[in-house]
Structure 1
Amino acid sequence: MRHIWVLNGKTLKYYALATVAALFAASFLYASQAYIPAFSTDEGPRAFHRAEIDEKKAALTFNISWGDKRALPILEILADHKVEEATFFVSASWAERHPDILEKINEAGYTIGNHGYQYEHYTEWEESEMMRDLNESHRKLKEVGGIEPVYFRPPHGDFDERVLQAVDRFGYSTIHWSVGGSDWKNPGVETIVKDITENTEPGDVILLHASDSAKQTHKALPVILNDLSEKGYQLVSLEELITDGEAKTQEIK
């Protein structure tokens, strides 16, 4: 069972200040890196799922863990549609193999999040294994692209309370999603478009894939972007969505 909480901006700022000192004290555990504090509460670590807002804002996110054929066309589509805000969660082992694509994502001004090093289920690992993978992925992304991500999306989107606690202790904020995520199954362009456009609501985090296994996403993306634009949606950064959002707790089974 997964527990996901959405935090509002004021809450995030409050807990960010409250946790800085504690994270500084623990920083010797990862002395070779500079980590950004995660947001924790008295009830435990929380993952961002969606924001409760009225404005037609949504965050567009992509996962990449394999291949070099789909990411560049997706970047071109985003540029053609003048999409300035998107987040790419990249596997660090993928980034090692394709530093040129990582550089293009970074140069385009998009946020880069950590998607782990080994593409394995964190829920099946001991905490020491999670920490090792987090440390290795963070180090590699900094080494390959000069990037120090602050957001983490577990491989396969698979997490439980143990994973959230480990990610929080490491210093990341865990990001889930509320719309999409099935495009990697290649269900058909029309189905992908329908899945996003008919279900997106204000505050949603949209998930698509830019790995080579997602063979139809680049065809669906222009239609999705046009539809959202026609409906008056603005694609914003995760940071803006988190800041604008109101606290909400939702249990996902």
Structure 2
Amino acid sequence: MKKMIHFSLIFILAFLFVNNPLTNEYVSGLKSEYIPVTNQKDPLFKEIASRAVDYYIPPQDAKIDRVWKAIPGLNGLQVDIKASYKKMHDEGEFKEEKLIFEQVEPKIQLRNLPPSPVYKGHPEKQMVSFIINVAWGNEYLPDMLATLKKHNVSASFFVEGRWAQNNPELAKMIESAGHEIGNHSYTHPNMGTISSSKIREEIRKTNEVIKAITDKPVQWFGPPSGSYRDETVQIAAEEKLGTVMWTVDTVDWKKPSPEQLLNRVLSKVHNGALILMHPTDPTAKSLDQLIIQLKQKNLQIGTVSELLSSERTIAHSIGEGNNN
């Protein structure tokens, strides 16, 4: 009799456990996750697999261009067949808008190339980057940072080491706002004519100052006034820095009117452009409109690291596929 009572209690408890709402929800979740995506006999699966080739975009390797020097690569796109099948499974029919894509990295990345300066991002990447060189202009930085925050834009500030050491609170403010900080030498010398040992000293000292303030390593070096020689780039690479130049110059240090600055940039900007600026009055006054009008051109704005990565940042549209 006791055995029967014991058995009955176990049966009741098991029944309640299996049929309670939480268990039912868990089991339903498992069922929804379990879809035989590898069943290649399914007509829908076969259709997705056969049509995937029409949407394939091959990755493009980074390369050294004769004119533009180092140019980053760009990820390719391919259909994630299993994920797409899972998304279409319930309706049981192929729908183009439900295709899921995954990125395919190129075999040769920027980091795989021999040391060479970078003047622009990939020409098919709908993104630009602000390079903001800082060695003076403290009074304009708060307004510029406020404008960047207003538009949720991240920029790359290339700071002079001496300036950062004298203005650690401003350097920290830049970093805390989510912006990237690059190396702009320590004393702003002509990096194309100074000695090899002086080049290394300028780079190392600035790296140390930035690391001490932000606790983050530096990735990029921007030569003052754009002056460098091959050895400058080589030494920067030995210090684990890529050398970055620019594509479009605001020439804001000449104090153009905001309208002149906007026209200068917007008439020359293109996919992958690196836009050079400084903390100046015309830049502070025109930055809001510059961001608005760049976005109207369907250009995203990111840091140098984001721009020069091979990652695609614009959502893939079906029209980009290779339908040949």
- CA drift of 1:15 comes to 6.3
Residues 74/12 of structure 1: CA separation in 2 closer, same or farther (3 Å cut) = farther
Amino acid corresponding to residue 201 of structure 2 in structure 1: R
The structure with higher relative contact order (CA 8 Å, sep 6+) is 1
Give the stretch that moved more between structures: 61-70 or 237-246: 237-246
- 1:9, 1:242 within 8 Å by CA — same for their partners in 2? no
> 2:119 is matched by which residue type in structure 1?
H
Among 65, 70, 83, which residue is 1:5 paired with? 70
Deviation at 1:103, TM superposition (A): 1.2
The answer to whether the Cα contact below 8 Å between 1:184 and 1:215 also exists between their aligned partners in 2 is no
The Cα offsets for residues 14-67 of structure 1, whole Å up to 9 and x where unpaired, read as 568xxxxxxxxxxxxxxxxxxxxxx363xx411121123334211122110114
Q: How does 1:28-43 map to 2 (within 5 A)?
A: 39=111, 41=113
Distance 2:109 2:125 in 1: 25
Secondary structure at the counterpart of residue 89 of structure 1: strand
Q: Which residue of 1 aligns with 2:146?
A: 76
Matched, 1:222 2:288: yes
Quote the Cα distance in structure 2 between the aligned partners of 1:55 and 1:8: 10
* Deviation at residue 12 of structure 1 after TM alignment: 8.7
Measure, in 2, the Cα distance between the counterparts of 1:219 and 1:146.
Answer: 32
> Could you state the TM-score of these two structures normalised by the residue count of structure 2?
0.62
Residues 44-98 of structure 1 show CA distances to partners (whole Å, capped at 9, x for unaligned) of: 4111211233342111221101142011110011111221x21111111111111
**Secondary structure at 2:256 match in 1:** coil
Match of 2:271 among 163, 177, 202: 202
Q: Matched residues in 1 for 2:106 and 2:219: separation?
A: 14
Give the structure 1 partner of residue 305 of structure 2.
239
Letter in 2 for 1:121: N
1:24 matched residue in structure 2: none
Q: Tell me which residue corresponds to 2:242.
A: 173
Number of residue pairs the alignment of both structures matches: 217
1:101 corresponds to 2:166: no
Deviation at 1:160, TM superposition (A): 1.9
Residues 53-72 of structure 1: pairs in structure 2 closer than 5 A: 53-72=123-142
> In structure 2, what is the Cα distance between the partners aligned to 1:92 and 1:116?
6
Aligned mates of 1:239, 1:15 — CA distance in 2: 13
Q: Secondary structure, in 3 states, of the residue corresponding to 1:239?
A: helix
Give secondary structure in 2 for the equivalent of 1:47.
Answer: coil
Structure ID, larger Rg: 2
Identify the structure with the greater strand proportion: 1
After superposition, the Cα gap between the structure-2 partners of 1:133 and 1:173, relative to the gap in structure 1 and judged at 3 Å, is: same
Following TM superposition, the consecutive aligned residue runs of length 4 or more in structure 1 with deviations greater than 3 angstroms are 9-16
Query: Normalised by the size of structure 1, how large is the TM-score?
Result: 0.78
1:7 CA drift (Å): 2.7
The separation in 2 between residues aligned to 1:118 and 1:155, in whole angstroms, is 9
Instruction: Choose which of 45, 54, 65 in structure 1 pairs with 2:115.
Output: 45
Structure 2 unaligned runs (5+)?
1-66, 76-104, 313-324
Select the residue among 215, 233, 241 that pairs with 1:164.
233
Aligned match of 2:197: 128
Q: Contact conserved, 2:122 with 2:308, CA < 8 A, in 1?
A: no
Q: Is the 8 A contact 2:128 2:274 kept in 1?
A: yes
**Partner-residue secondary structure (3-state), 1:226:** helix
1:127, distance to aligned residue in structure 2 (A): 0.5
| Cα root mean square deviation, aligned | 2.3
In structure 2, relative to structure 1, the CA distance for the partners of 1:74 and 1:52 (3 Å cut) is same
